[in-house]
Amino acid sequence: MKNFTHKYRVTFTNKQFVISFIVSILALVGAFVFNYYTSNYATEHASNLVTDIVLSNIPIYNVDGVFVYGPLFVWALIAFLLLKEPKRIPFALKAITLFVVVRSIFTTLTHLGPYPYVIPFDYSYGWIKSLTFGSDMFFSGHTGLPYLMALIFGKIHKTYYYLFLLAAVFFGVIVLLGHYHYTIDVAAAFFITYSIYAIATKWFKKDMGQFYS
């Protein structure tokens, strides 16, 4: 416990870290606000659906529970890994911020309507209603975010890489089974996310150095 407390005391008495930490928090909050408005825009301007090589050939499954609560486990693991080593927080949050902003921009470019649901989304999940828009399709955040964490934490330990990669593939399957995303949304998420990671390593070099130190 003393080592844990000492780690936080040393980290948060570093002025440069504190500034970067505050900036990363504010940037992430701003990104989520931006995402809210862009997702609403995409939903309001949604057009017709299109056929899909996977969705057109598989039945729809009720995976609401996994779709809603599954990512919470991923976020909990991310939070644990960051709180365990606070020096990792700024780079991780800035990379996530970049991810959210890029995805928000992509959702405003093409406004495909959602694939028709046979099983309506269960809004008894309460708080998720305000976060589920319906037509913020491209690209899949359920797939992309775990993959981003795989790229970031994978350099620390291979176990993290495979764990987050497995989560990305798992949620990719889930969103297809529930017809929440088109196949292109899931497939493209891996390629776009890798580009986001590459940009983050260039833009946030100091934070990345602190992350891996």
| Amino acid code (one letter) for 175 | V
Q: Is 34 exposed, middle or buried (0-12, 13-18, 19+ CB in 10 A)?
A: middle
Cα gap 21→210, rounded to integer Å: 12
Q: What share of the chain has pLDDT > 70, as a percent? A: 89
Which residue has 């529970």 as its token pair?
Answer: 65
Examine the pLDDT at 159 and tell me if it is beyond 80: yes
Mean pLDDT of 79-105: 96
Q: Any idea how long the chain is?
A: 213
Residue 148 or 42, more confident: 148
pLDDT at residue number 116: 66
pLDDT digits (tens, 9 = 90+) for 100-123: 999 999 998 887 777 765 555 554
**What band does 135 get if pLDDT is binned at 50, 70 and 90?**
low
pLDDT at residue number 132: 54
Is residue 143 within 8 Å of 172, Cβ to Cβ? yes
Is residue 19 within 8 Å of 12, Cβ to Cβ? no
Report residue 104 CA to chain centroid gap. Answer: 11
**What band does 64 get if pLDDT is binned at 50, 70 and 90?**
confident
Instruction: Classify 187 as helix, strand or coil.
Output: helix
pLDDT digits (tens, 9 = 90+) for 65-80: 888 889 999 999 999 9
- In degrees and rounded to multiples of 5, residue 8 shows phi and psi of -70, -40
Tokens describing residue 83: 């709180």
